[in-house]
């Protein structure tokens, strides 16, 4: 196959995990790859470990961010520096299985897809695993894939996917600096919108670690709240040409926005952000009553009452 894959690894506070991450790439059965490690100004010892690996294997290159920029922009910087025809995003605290790149590339050759989606497994700290299998038919219409993303029947993560680099470089993407959560949502919706063909494999190729230091375990601040609202605004914009998606999208966005009131952030600040992004009509209990199931509505409403901040 002999087509170069650039594995892009953003690094920030990953000292405990980065060695296993790099080992999993270096153990691949498909060997025509480079590893582009992007240092997002990490304050820990992650980069010292990366340098040790880079001294032993010339396929590892290091890119330095001028300032801490968040995962979305850091991945974009890595893609710009990549030399491969294809991009594979890998978080520094995760690993991939030995045949991951090989089976992704095999599927790409068969289908000429712009994106090949693989399955991933999330390993929780309590010992349980959550499987996200990408078992949908290949070459789906864009609106069908967007519907699958809305319903989360395919992994929303930009990881566990082989992506044609030109898909990322030749289109006008909206990037959001300093985005610490929901950056994958913003990127994957745009990728699907621009893609001509998307293929899926049934195998699990990617393992996510339950890192207690990751942003998903951090208590939401106003910044994280705005990240969520930003991602929902982008979902609306991308799906606008497909009116048949609106009922499912309405339910998903309404639920996620009402959930914001369950976090210890003043309601007035949340309402300011909702108005800023033109989503205030979705985040009302009256609208939630219309579009949500009774279970979703009452569980969210009760949680918001218990945690309400004026």
Q: What percent of the chain has pLDDT over 70?
A: 94
Asked if residue 169 lies in contact with residue 6, where contact means CB atoms within 8 angstroms, the answer is no
b/e map 141-169, b = 16+ CB within 10 Å? ebebbbbbbbeeebbbbbbbbbbbbebbe
Please, which pLDDT band fits residue 213 given cuts at 50, 70 and 90? low
At residue 71, does pLDDT exceed 90?
A: no
At 29, phi and psi to the nearest 5?
A: -70, -25
At residue 135, does pLDDT exceed 80?
A: no
What pLDDT, on a 0 to 100 scale, did the predictor assign at position 133? 80
pLDDT single digits (tens) 95-134: 999 999 999 999 999 999 999 999 999 988 888 888 888 7
Please, which pLDDT band fits residue 136 given cuts at 50, 70 and 90? low
- Does the domain formed by 5-210 have CATH 2.170.190.11? no
Asked if residue 157 lies in contact with residue 188, where contact means CB atoms within 8 angstroms, the answer is yes
What pLDDT, on a 0 to 100 scale, did the predictor assign at position 212? 59
Token pair of 300 as six digits: 């969210």
Distance CA 132, CA 119 (A): 6
At residue 211, does pLDDT exceed 80?
A: no
Tell me how long the chain is: 310
What pLDDT, on a 0 to 100 scale, did the predictor assign at position 72? 82
What pLDDT, on a 0 to 100 scale, did the predictor assign at position 215? 46
At residue 309, does pLDDT exceed 70?
A: no
What pLDDT, on a 0 to 100 scale, did the predictor assign at position 233? 97
Query: What are the residue boundaries of the structural domains of the chain, listed by start?
Result: 5-210, 219-307
What pLDDT, on a 0 to 100 scale, did the predictor assign at position 124? 86
Separation in Å, CA 178 to CA 50, 80, 227? 23, 18, 9
Any idea which of 14-28, 70-84, 208-222, 223-237 has the lowest mean pLDDT?
Answer: 208-222
Please, which pLDDT band fits residue 219 given cuts at 50, 70 and 90? low
Select from 254, 257, 259 the least CA-distant residue to 290: 254
What pLDDT, on a 0 to 100 scale, did the predictor assign at position 157? 87
DSSP one-letter code for 72: H
Alpha carbon 217 to its chain's center = 16
At residue 137, does pLDDT exceed 80?
A: no
b/e map 260-295, b = 16+ CB within 10 Å? bbbbebeeeebeebbeeeebbebbeeebbeebbeee
For residues 20-39, give the mean pLDDT: 98
What pLDDT, on a 0 to 100 scale, did the predictor assign at position 214? 52
């Amino acid at each position: 196959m002999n087509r170069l894959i650039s594995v892009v690894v953003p690094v920030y506070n990953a000292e405990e995990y980065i060695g296993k991450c790099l080992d999993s790439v270096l153990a691949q059965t498909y060997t025509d790859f480079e590893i582009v490690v992007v240092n997002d100004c990490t304050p820990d010892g992650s980069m010292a470990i990366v340098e040790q690996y880079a001294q032993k294997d010339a396929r590892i290159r290091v890119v330095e961010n001028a300032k801490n920029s968040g995962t979305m922009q850091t991945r974009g910087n890595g893609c710009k520096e990549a030399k491969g025809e294809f991009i594979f995003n890998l978080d520094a605290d995760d690993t991939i299985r030995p045949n991951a790149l090989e089976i992704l590339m095999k599927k790409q050759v068969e289908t000429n897809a712009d994106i090949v989606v693989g399955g991933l497994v999330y390993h929780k700290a309590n010992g349980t695993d959550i499987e996200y299998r990408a078992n949908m038919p290949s070459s789906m219409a864009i609106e069908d894939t967007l519907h699958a993303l809305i319903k989360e029947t395919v992994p929303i993560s930009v990881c566990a996917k082989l992506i044609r680099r030109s898909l990322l470089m030749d289109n006008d993407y909206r990037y959001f600096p300093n985005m610490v959560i929901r950056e994958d949502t913003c990127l994957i919706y745009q990728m699907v919108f621009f893609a001509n063909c998307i293929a899926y494999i049934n195998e699990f190729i990617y393992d996510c670690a339950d890192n207690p230091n990751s942003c998903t375990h951090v208590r939401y601040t106003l910044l994280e709240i705005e990240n969520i609202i930003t991602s929902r605004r982008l979902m609306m914009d991308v799906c606008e040409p497909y009116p048949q998606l609106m009922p499912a999208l309405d339910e998903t966005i309404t639920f996620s926005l009402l959930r914001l009131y369950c976090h210890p952030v003043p309601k007035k600040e949340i309402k300011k952000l909702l108005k800023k992004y033109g989503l205030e009509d979705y985040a009302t209990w009256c609208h939630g009553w219309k579009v949500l199931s009774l279970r979703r509505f009452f569980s969210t409403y009760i949680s918001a009452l218990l945690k309400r901040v004026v």
